[in-house]
Amino acid sequence: MELWLNLAAVDTGDLLDIAVAAEESGYTGLAVADHLVHPGTLQSRYPYSATGDVVWKPSSHWPDAWVAIAAMAAVTTRLRFTTAVYVAPLRDPVALAKSISTAAVISRGRVGCGFGSGWMREEFDVVGQDFADRGKRLDEIIEVLRALWSGGMVDYHGAYYSFDPVQMSPAPPGPIPVWLGGNTARAMRRAVRHDGWIGSYTSLEETIDDLDQVRALRLESGRDGAFHVSVTGPALDVAACAALAEVGVDSAIVSLRRLARSRALPDITAAIHAFADEAQAVLA
């Protein structure tokens, strides 16, 4: 099983040191989470807590994912990077294609995308994007990204996005995998049309049920080829990672904030090394 770290709410100034420590410790990669802003009044229900309340403060850091990934790639040579997850429907797809492609070039192909449709209506309101059609727009956004990443002259004419022939450079050095996050049936159906699924872990039993649904949908779709299954969540510990490996999960994306005793960088790097040693002894 691949072992990744989820960098949600980690202080931005520590990211480069964290990337170096993670590479030294043998992690496969790092996942950057995403929010644009924290609204002063939040009525949207957070789907990953029992109460529906968010579990972070307004001051928690959510750096631009592609700037952060490019910077971390510059101080590492092997570590891979993805987002878990990036709310693509908040963004213009042409500008997004450029940001991701640039990070892919700088990292020499060590970049993937984990996308989600989003749950916080207030963020969509801030940037003037429709919340109701975000899923349909996400489908088109992925099509636009793949077209622009081809490196040739392309056009696109969909229900939400349309442009005449253009060429975007630099193009990425190779295919960029697209994983979709979410535990709803709709999110799973979207995931099986692409390169992978990122599930949210609450318990082993629920995750196995979700995994069975994803596999059934994948079989029903008739698609073949590589399909990557990742699971992330603050409840992931070494025992959970081992159990998920037994049922065929490809990677565990473990919350770094839940591993460290404090937000001090020495404690964070110590936790990175300690968890890697423990996990590698169990998963080997």
Amino acid, res. 167: Q
Q: How would DSSP label each residue in 198-265?
A: EEEPS-HHHHHHHHHHHHHHHHHHT--S--EEEEEETT--HHHHHHHHHTT--EEEEEHHHH-SSSSH
Is residue 91 within 8 Å of 126, Cβ to Cβ? no
Amino acid sitting at position 248: G
Q: Which residue has the tokens 């110590």?
A: 270
Q: What is the spatial distance between Cα 193 and Cα 210, in angstroms, rounded to a whole number?
A: 16
Query: Is a pLDDT exceeding 80 seen at residue 219?
Result: yes
**What's the CATH code of the domain at 174?**
3.20.20.30
Q: For residue 74, what pLDDT is reported?
A: 98
Domain coverage including residue 7? 2-283
> Could you give the number of structural domains in the chain?
1
Segment 51-84, tens digit of pLDDT? 999 999 999 999 999 999 999 999 999 999 999 9
| pLDDT, tens only, 255-266 | 999 999 899 999
pLDDT (tens digit per residue) in 92-143: 999 999 999 999 999 999 999 999 999 999 999 999 999 999 999 999 999 9
Q: For the chain, give the mean pLDDT.
A: 96
* Mean pLDDT calculated for residue range 38-55: 94
**Residue 180's pLDDT is what?**
98
Would the pLDDT of 284 be above 80? no
Nearest CA to 22 among 282, 283, 273? 273
* Residue 283 in this model has a pLDDT that exceeds 90: no
Q: Is it the case that residue 207 has pLDDT exceeding 90?
A: yes
